[in-house]
Amino acid sequence: MASRLLSPALRSRAFSTPVSALRSFHTSPRMFADATPLPIRKPVGAFRGGLFGFLLGSTLAGASVYYYILEEYKVSNELLTEDIYSLQASVQRVHTYVQTLEEKLTELEKKKK
């Protein structure tokens, strides 16, 4: 290939023709006649997109916090109810103990008289 490029006949032909004559580009009006413009899209602006993203994110975060707090409230409410029942049972035991002590005291007072 190098020997063909260096031959005097090809070398004189390659340098004698201008580059613009070798290849030319032309456009015809027929090619552009079928082209239709793209539909105009209303762009979603940064303000509108940012506002929508902020509202969506804050709504999701608020809902998750609400359900988390609701679950914590249920757990604490159950623990408090359990403590109230145990306190009620211990108060009932103390009440019966005091009542038996009062009965014994009244019996002792009757025996002394």
Model confidence pLDDT, tens digit, residues 52-78:
899 999 999 999 999 999 999 999 999
The answer to whether 104 and 110 are in contact (CB under 8 A) is: no
Mean pLDDT, rounded, for 13-21: 54
* pTM: predicted TM-score of the whole model, two decimal places: 0.46
State yes or no: pLDDT of 79 exceeds 70.
Answer: yes
Q: How far apart are CA 56 and CA 48, in angstroms?
A: 12
State yes or no: pLDDT of 14 exceeds 70.
Answer: no
Q: How far apart are CA 86 and CA 79, in angstroms?
A: 11
pLDDT value for 38: 75
Kindly state the DSSP code that residue 27 receives in the 8-state scheme: -
pLDDT value for 99: 96
